[in-house]
């Protein structure tokens, strides 16, 4: 009788443990495709310092593993007291990206947008939209881009280096 009770209790406990483990495994934190601890990577996911053919540089890009991205550049770099309205200020850039394969080569393509406002009166002005097609090799990315601001479209180029953990600094803490 005692052994039968043990079996009756043990089976539901084991099943419950398996269900909890399965739920935790499927809903737990994901390991992204970002660089591993040795910096090895073929994915764009992560944070990058970008040099762009643009009136201001550098930029910082963050590519998330869900296909979204954000970008920023130094604050107030577009302000110019001599320009109409004192120049412009831009917002944090937000966009989307995906991988595509063309002729056997994989690229990261995407578009991000930044909202602009006049520096003097903070009224909205033309939106910036940048589209790109980049290749990722380890901790570098490179490729053409196109920037649209109002009715103007200009070619650009992006080159980036993955931001990595400063191991020497961390080890000195």
Mean pLDDT in residue range 41-50: 88
Does residue 119 contact residue 87 with C-beta atoms inside 8 Å?
A: yes
Q: Which of 140, 51, 143, 49 is nearest to 105 (CA)?
A: 143
Q: Which of 121, 114, 134, 139 is nearest to 39 (CA)?
A: 139
Where is average pLDDT lowest: 71-75, 76-80, 121-125?
76-80
**What is the rounded CA–CA span in Å between residue 146 and residue 112?**
11
Model confidence at 152: pLDDT above 60: yes
Model confidence at 35: pLDDT above 60: no
- Mean pLDDT of the chain, nearest integer: 76
Write down the pLDDT at residue 108: 97
First to last CA, the chain: 61
| Category of 85 on φ-ψ map: left (φ > 0), alpha (ψ -120 to 50) or beta | left
Write down the pLDDT at residue 157: 96
Reduced to 3 states (helix: H, G, I; strand: E, B; else coil), residue 57 is: coil
Question: By CB neighbour count within 10 A (0-12 exposed, 13-18 middle, 19+ buried), where does 86 fall?
Answer: middle
Q: Which pair of structure tokens corresponds to residue 149?
A: 């601001």
| pTM beyond cutoff 0.85 | no
Mean pLDDT in residue range 76-104: 75
**What is the rounded CA–CA span in Å between residue 97 and residue 19?**
35
């Amino acid at each position: 009788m005692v052994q039968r009770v043990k079996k009756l209790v043990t089976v539901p406990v084991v099943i419950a443990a398996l269900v909890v483990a399965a739920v935790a495994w499927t809903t737990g934190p994901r390991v992204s495709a970002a660089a591993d601890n040795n910096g090895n990577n073929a994915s764009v996911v992560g944070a990058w310092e970008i040099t762009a053919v643009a009136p201001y540089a550098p930029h910082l890009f963050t590519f998330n593993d869900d296909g979204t991205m954000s970008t920023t550049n130094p604050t107030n770099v577009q302000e110019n007291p001599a320009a109409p309205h004192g120049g412009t200020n831009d917002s944090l850039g937000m966009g989307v990206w995906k991988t595509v394969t063309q002729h056997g080569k994989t690229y990261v393509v995407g578009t991000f947008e930044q909202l602009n406002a006049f520096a003097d009166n903070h009224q909205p002005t033309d939106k910036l939209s940048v589209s790109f097609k980049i290749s990722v090799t380890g901790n570098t990315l490179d490729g053409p881009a196109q920037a649209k601001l109002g009715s103007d479209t200009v070619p650009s180029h992006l080159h980036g280096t993955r931001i990595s953990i400063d191991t020497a600094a961390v080890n000195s803490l």
